[in-house]
Amino acid sequence: MGIPDADMLAKLKLVNMVLLEALRLYCPVIMLVRKTSEDMKLGNLLIPKETCITIPIIKIHRSKEYWGEDANEFNPIRFANGVSKAGKHPNALLAFSIGPRVCIGQNFAMLEAKTVLALILQRSFGKQGVKGPSYSFFSGSLNEMKRLKMDAAQIVLDTTSNDITPRVLPQYHKWCPRYGETILYWFGTRPVVCITDPDLAKQILSNKFGFYVKPKCSPAIQALTGNGVALVNGLEWVRRRRIVNPAFSVDKLKVMVKRMATCTISMLEEWKNEANAAVGQCRKIEINGEFRKLTAAIIAHTAFGSSYSQGEEAFEAQNELQHYCAASFLDIFIPGSHYLPTPSKVQLWKLDRRVKNSLRDIIKSRLNSCNPDCNYGDDLLGLIIAASENSDSKEGPKLSMDEIVEECKTFFFAGHETSSNLLTWTVFLLSIHQDWQTRLREEVLKECGMGVPDSDMLARLRLATMVLLEALRLYCPVVEMFREASKDMKLGNLTIPKDALVSIPLAKIHRSKEYWGEDCNEFNPIRFKNGISKAAKHPNAFLAFGIGPRTCVGQNFAMLEAKAVLAIVLQRFTLSLSSEYKHAPVDNLALQPQYGLPIVVKPLSTQAQNI
């Protein structure tokens, strides 16, 4: 919170871009006037002596010819590569004039504006009682966050401890006792307000008027997750969600259970063979890797049906992208840097092209093979193409090829990554709490017997639902959500300035004693016996799927898949935690066990082995 000096201000690239864009849109001088001192040739014009020439800066600064279709929009990114490359003409910005009579005080003005703007942002939150770590110019709080993350990565927790906040959100573990539950910190030059109040979280996530939007991701993150319904905002989100929603209706999902079961049984055949070949018919399996392969196969089958093998190839490349993205998550994104052909960027581009080309081939094949009844198939891809083709023109245009590609990428990342980690942490908890594993198995055998469960059977697995929700509470795949204020907003007693980020740390809220009681860090599925809204002392304290209109579109798919896999596994195997396990959850864009999850599996009986 110190006073910035000239060197600090010189590093404020984003602030510089904002000020230049403000000068373009709202230039203090809207018109320049010059008078000819003699007859002059100006282009093809002959200008007589004593003629006044006007240069309407305000008009030139809004010319679509020079500034593009978004000429009237606030977009500081256009100045990422300097003034001369901001428009389609190097001299399109005239705020300080050009030539020998350029404004002599322009450097003073920019330095003054930067100083004032930085101090205003820094102190506005302080006056509201919001405190946080000291601000380092340009990097903000990122260097401290990186250091805390590196230190936390060395910690191995007690296996019986579910308090993972010191490891996955070490910044809040350190800052909250010092500054309070509402904290101000900085992503570079952008302020971030961390809130832990469920009422405020609901206000942000409900987003009734579209004033809290999903922040724009870096190109690397977007390449991984896809610019699908999970990332777009405003009317574009409304259009995409309307098209995607029908594919995730309960009736449509019911037919996918068989595919989920087939993939699971195939995996368990391998487990059984390995266990039978082992001493004592026990086999140690790294279950996180197994579930990652399984959920990738399930999403490939449920998304692409008979084209699943092509889908698996595309998703292999997308999976490789995650390692790059996880490593760069806390890096400062400098506009334009994505285009620098560094070795890692070149690899990113190759992987992204590979994913997109594979998905385009699948989509083209599906479109070309459509039967006369316009039946594109009962998998997710077919359902979305059909919904898009049948959408009313009044509701917006149908999805383009590129938009369908992006939705497919989103399905894979969300459906594969979150589901595999939900299953991983559920098995971890059941391997420790053997009493709950026994209770769940009894429920599964009662409702499903030894047969392949269908959707109706899975719907009756009440204890399984409670266990999965408790696993999501304690080990939510997404440990923190962010939203961006699209205008100055009032949030409770706080004023959030436009473009500020708001953080909602799910892993911290899910462990609040205020909302979850003294046993907040204990595994207790019974708390969900009366549903989500009554599980805690606050109806909005459970945020694993979000709240409001942007609640996770795939939550029913995820829960159905997790129940199906869990039921089939428990029908056939007992699960116990290997002594080699190190309890080290880590946030790699989704919550994962850093050193894997070794589980000892053993077939239940001869009958159970006859899969």
Q: What angle do CA 512, 513, 518 make, to 5 degrees?
A: 140
Q: What are the φ/ψ torsions at residue 485 (nearest 5 degrees)?
A: -75, 120
Cα separations (Å) of 21 from 98, 231, 262, 305, 341?
A: 17, 25, 56, 49, 28
Q: What are the φ/ψ torsions at residue 592 (nearest 5 degrees)?
A: -130, 160
What is the distance, to the nearest Å, from the Cα of residue 498 to the centroid of all Cα atoms in its chain? 21
What does the DSSP 8-state code read for residue 280?
Answer: G
Stated as kind and residue range, the H or E segment containing 47 is strand 45-47
Torsion angle of alpha carbons 161, 167, 168, 169, nearest 10°?
110
E runs forming strands in 236-311: 283-286
What is the C-alpha separation between 270 and 286, in angstroms, rounded?
13
Tokens of 411: 């399905």
Stated as kind and residue range, the H or E segment containing 176 is helix 170-179
Determine the residue type at 232: V
What is the C-alpha separation between 310 and 515, in angstroms, rounded?
46
Determine the residue type at 230: A
Q: What residue has token string 């066990």?
A: 593
Tell me: is residue 282 an annotated ligand-binding position: no
Neighbours of 321 (CB within 10 A): 22
What is the distance, to the nearest Å, from the Cα of residue 345 to the centroid of all Cα atoms in its chain? 20
The answer to whether 573 touches 155, Cβ cutoff 8 Å, is: no
Residue whose C-alpha is closest to residue 186's, from 173, 171, 208, 202: 171
What does the DSSP 8-state code read for residue 583?
Answer: B
Question: Residues within the annotated binding site for heme?
Answer: 552
Question: Residues within the annotated binding site?
Answer: 552
